[in-house]
Structure 1
Amino acid sequence: MTARNGVSGESEPAPRTGRRPGRSGSRETILVAARARFAALGFDKTSIRAVATDAGVDPALVHHYFGTKQQLFATVVELPVDPEATLRVIESAPLDELGATILHGVMTVWDSPAGPGVVAAVRSLLAGGDMALARTFLLDVVLERVRLRIATPDDDGRTRVALVATQMIGVLVARKIIGVEPIASMAIPDLIAAVGPTLQRYLTGEIDPAAT
């Protein structure tokens, strides 16, 4: 039976349940907020909750769009790959093989089908003046786990991983951006044999005590 004013005597449909969709443009708003947070505070001091607050959304929506904080950062710097797989390999390497493992892991990505996208992301960071993001990616994301492994009560490892960063940047620029021969066309095993021991010395060998 139908009641007056067109109101049905039947019960109204139950409201929908589940996560409410994000507002139009929420993904882009989150990225803007994340870029600002990462640039200002670095990776470790940036949280998903803080990014969500800045963007005016629920933290669950950030996870929905981007997954983990590391995946969010990879999207911010426009990396075409998630660095987690490479970082897990590096993290599990024996301490005395860290130098060669880091170089092998990174160069394998550079020379993969995703390599041009990684190099493009690096170019964009440097050309766009995003030095804070570039430092955060290199020191807080890529090398922080390595630093924690080599740190001792007398040496926090920061100088050591910074030296590794300079070497890796040099290899990347020479091999993939400028094209310095024979580095640009050298086989990965040969380049690892040449550069890996230097990285290993930076990480675990003797360096200038005044610099640590």
Structure 2
Amino acid sequence: MSLTILLIAATVVISLLAWNNDTLLGKLLMNPFMINRKNEYWRFLTSGFIHADYGHLFFNMLSFYFFGQNIEAVFKEIFGSTGEIYFLILYLGGIILSDVPSYIKNRNNFSYNSLGASGGVSSIIFAGILFFPLDKIYLYGALGIPGIIYALLYVWYSIAMGRRGGDNINHSAHLYGALFGVIFTIAVFPSVVNIFIQQILNWKF
């Protein structure tokens, strides 16, 4: 079974358990105040395995399923047996590092909470866009747009929703996760830059 499927299964199970147990949910949430005052550093990771509702969970895991399968296969082809390790670092690192700016900003704010795998999913999506910038991404299963256009829309949406706030979803994590995905992928496989550029240069509108 692929790591993508295992991570999705773990996320679904933990989210369902947390929805039925407020104490568990409270311990897993990203709460910068509790990390700062109580050293509960696990929240950087565990917050990526819980979601706000079924819609939030479904959208994140569906995106992760399609992009994760592809990137996991690409990493295995490039790096062999160590590909799975790189894949885990990409996904889990995206979850953890995308929360760092929110932690710095809200470490003295007791009421701030966030949750969701958006940082990790974003890192996977943008790694995929580096390898396949022109492959169609289908919004709502119908509207197909090139990956590079999707990336621009994704950034715009994340900024807009982040400014609106009020839903406990860390939309800024989308941006930081995406940035981590791009930086990490280029760092471990620099040739991806040429792959990306050549595809863009050969793009026929």
Tell me whether the two structures share a fold, i.e. TM-score over 0.5.
no
Specify which structure has the higher proportion of helix. 2
Structure 1 or 2, whichever has the larger Rg, is: 1
Normalized against structure 1, the TM-score is what?
0.30
Task: Give TM-score, length-normalised by structure 2.
Answer: 0.31
